[in-house]
Structure 1
Amino acid sequence: EFKVGIQVQQWPTFLRGMYMQLLPLFVIGWLADYPDPHNFVYPYMHSSGDFSEWQSYSNPEVDALIEQGIATVDLAERQAIYYQLQELYIEDVPSFILAQLVGRRYFRDWVQGFVFNSIDPAEIGHVYVLSKEYE
């Protein structure tokens, strides 16, 4: 059983506490730069990653697997490595993965050109490529 108290902080205070490892628990997010598991595994799990440092997390086995995963070009081998890293993350529990937001986008039927991109955080996508058509 956990009892958690929420403490609202100003952004600079929050960042200072996180960087100095003073916060016992904090919420922060990460957006994908490119669609590859390394984009999440390195920052969250590698001892040199930003989130690992803030969580005081270090596991030499994890570091070696991450370095092996990014150097491997065989897709099946990479998949096995990243699956193993997921299992180690679950065992070590350096943090809790809370949510992956799923958004909805609604457009009038005359809006043309929208292409969904699963790693694009923009709420309405890249609107500069959209066009308008009338019948």
Structure 2
Amino acid sequence: MLQSESLTQQKHIKELEDRIEEQERYHRQWSLCLYRLPEREGEDLKKIVIDICRAIAPETESVLLLFVDICHRLGWRMEGTTRPVMIRFISRAIKKTFLKTKKFYFKEDLSAKNKEICKCLLLTVNLFSDEQMTYRWPFTIVISR
């Protein structure tokens, strides 16, 4: 009886974890992480991000303030490191415009579970170290010969 209840509870917990993961993945579709942006004391991060977006997509300048919903640095400040900036856009289409740029290093905002999957994929890809490879996230690896 207890064992049956335990199995039922474990199954229910797994289902809830999967639902939470799916919700997290869904909400991250509007977000990007910007890496290697130097950190300054007292910075106006939203202004800096909007200036970067203006440089990348000048055609959007008239409504740029509306495009960026939220932006902030992730994690704790540590000497000698630059924290990534999470940028949340008002739509996925706008996010895709900025993801395509080559001027800065933008990266998809992946959940912890998806990051682990990507790490496993990279370990697998390293087996093909003599091949030329292109990575497209999430989870697409193109091997060109």
Note whether the superposition's TM-score is higher than 0.5: no
Q: Which has the higher helix share?
A: 2
Give TM-score, length-normalised by structure 2: 0.24
Tell which has more relative contact order, 1 or 2 (C-alpha 8 A, sep 6+).
2
Instruction: Decide which structure has greater strand share.
Output: 2
TM-score where L is the length of structure 1: 0.26
